[in-house]
Structure 1
Amino acid sequence: AKLLTVLQNRQVVRVGSHKPRDIDIRLICASNMSIQKMTAQQEFRQDLLYRINTVEIQLPPLRERQEDLPLLV
């Protein structure tokens, strides 16, 4: 719930403080599970998915892209 609040309000309150600070962040998320299925099973918050799923890129796992390994290592 705290992450969703930060993403919606673009503000964060530091530990030990009561004053919200404006922030400008970019968030990159990755998962090896289907977030859509998890949302349908109520294992992932739908409102959080809505916030983080602005651009979706699906890549096959590295075990299926062995030719990419030298570029990543």
Structure 2
Amino acid sequence: MRAVITVTGKDRTGIIAKSSNTLYQHHVNFVDISQNVMEDMFAMVMLVNIDKCTVDFNSLIDLLDWY
């Protein structure tokens, strides 16, 4: 199954690293990624495959909600 995950907020160091590491740890595969920084705001949209994810989708979203 595929899912779309968006990450938005004030730009700061480590957003991509923390998000991608969390997804990697739970065996989520990246299909496509788009990111943009507009002044001090960061936006990223990821199309991911969650077939092999080790946690349910709601738990995964909770893990990504760190900002």
Normalised TM-score (structure 1)? 0.26
Normalised TM-score (structure 2)? 0.27
Give 1 or 2: higher strand fraction.
Answer: 2
Relative contact order (C-alpha < 8 Å, sep 6+): which is higher?
2
